[in-house]
Amino acid sequence: MKRLMSGNAALGEAAILSGCTCYFGYPITPQNELTEYMAKRMPESGGVFIQSESEIAAINMVLGASVAGARAMTSSSSPGMSLKQEGISYLAADELPAVIVNMVRGGPGMGNISPAQSDYLQATRGGGHGDYRTIVLAPSSVQELVDIVPLAFDLADAYRNPVIILGDGMLGQMMEPVDFSDIKKPKDYPKDYILTGAENRPSRMVRSLLFDTKEEEEHNWKLYRKFQRIEANEVRCETFMTDDAEIVVVAYGIAARIAKGAIKRLRQENIKAGLLRPITLWPFPSKNIVELARYVNDFFVFEMSTGQMIEDVKLALSGRGHVNFYGRPGGVIPTPIELARIVSRHYYQTQKVKRQ
């Protein structure tokens, strides 16, 4: 049965159904509905809810819960995510699973509380100090948000690495009908690293301090090999009307949904536009873009920022196609008609160039 829920609340329910037993949060708009939902539902389901004194405390409580063996989650929005980066770096270094939600808002600084995509680089480049990556999942509807939550927990456990769910203020706050019936009981991951007390076994230590540079270097290469495995196995993306496309829009999250509307309009004008929507922002679907570049020369990156993912598109193509950009930062929500207008103008301009 479908239920009408906000993205934030639906995410909370999906997390509980995915076996999340610990949630630690600090109020910040536009993700408060998730913290409030967990405050009510966690005690009902026998889990742990703490409203922490800060985002820094919340991520460290997540780390503690994770090292104790629980599926743990925290959530925030852009300014709060900056504070969580210390803990995320430690989670990655200690190889501890965790799910961290960022309902992105306009920035930098205090910014505003409107939807934005300006934390792409922070999310996909690690975000904190040191050589590490986080898996970044970017859903574009409330149902996909629900579907992605169990995946986020599974990936975190499978790779023992923090996973970021990168949404935005719109995805978090809009209400859509959702179905939770596809969420299965979480499978058991062997956790031979957790701290339970050294009862009838040798004591364990979990640490990231490695004074010996050779040891620290090997730890970094070990993490790097893991990140290579993730890049090889975990890329996810969606294509929409790309089979005969002459121009491909690359957009993720809520911007991809706006782009779909634009593409439908463009198709009505007989402009052969398609969409590539990365679902994993890291690992980035570079190979899928290169594959499209075999017959498409024109790429149009669309983001609710001044252009961050465009770097990954350019890196993927490495000169194999033209990369254009349209973006609206600062919490402005562009419309499908606006994007269609921009793309069609570009299309006719380049067609003219082709005729000359």
Partner 1 sequence: MKKIYTRPASLKEAHFHYCPGCGHGIINRLIAEVIDEMGLRGKAICVAPAGCGMLVYNYFDIDTLESAHGRGAAVATGIKRVRPDNLVFSYQGDGDLAAIGTAEGFHAANRGELITVIFVNNGVYGMTGGQMAPTTLKEQITTTTPSGRNPVSAGHPVRVCEVFSVLDGTSYLERVAVNSPSGIKKTKKAIAKAFQHQINRTGFSLVEILSPCPTNWKMSPIESFRWIDEVMTKQFPLGVIKEVKC
Binding site for partner 1 (CB under 8 A): 21-22, 24, 48, 50, 52-54, 56-58, 60-70, 72, 86-87, 90, 94, 195-200, 203-209
Least spacing, CB of residue 235 vs partner 1, in Å: 31
Closer CB to partner 1, residue 56 or residue 342?
Answer: 56
Least spacing, CB of residue 164 vs partner 1, in Å: 19
Q: Is residue 44 helix, strand or coil?
A: helix
What are the residues facing 275 on neighbouring strands? 240, 249
Type and span of the H or E element at 4? strand 3-6
Distance CA 156, CA 269 (A): 44
Least spacing, CB of residue 48 vs partner 1, in Å: 4
Closer CB to partner 1, residue 208 or residue 239?
Answer: 208
Residue recorded with tokens 């939902």: 37
Distance CA 351, CA 356 (A): 9
Least spacing, CB of residue 225 vs partner 1, in Å: 23
Closer CB to partner 1, residue 64 or residue 307?
Answer: 64
- Give the pair of three-digit tokens for residue 81: 């995510």
Least spacing, CB of residue 204 vs partner 1, in Å: 5
Q: What is the DSSP letter of 170?
A: H
Distance CA 143, CA 137 (A): 14
Neighbours of 189 (CB within 10 A): 14
Judge contact between 95 and 193, C-beta under 8 A. Answer: yes
In sequence order, which residues have a C-beta less than 8 Å from that of residue 179 and are 6 or more positions away? 1, 2, 3, 143, 146
Closer CB to partner 1, residue 188 or residue 243?
Answer: 188
Closest C-alpha among 128, 131, 123, 133 to residue 159: 133
Least spacing, CB of residue 24 vs partner 1, in Å: 7
Judge contact between 147 and 179, C-beta under 8 A. Answer: no
Residue type, 324: N
Least spacing, CB of residue 130 vs partner 1, in Å: 12
Distance CA 355, CA 326 (A): 24
Closer CB to partner 1, residue 42 or residue 276?
Answer: 42
Q: If DSSP states are collapsed to H, E and C, what string results for 28-43? A: CCCCHHHHHHHHHHHH
Least spacing, CB of residue 190 vs partner 1, in Å: 17
Closer CB to partner 1, residue 54 or residue 228?
Answer: 54
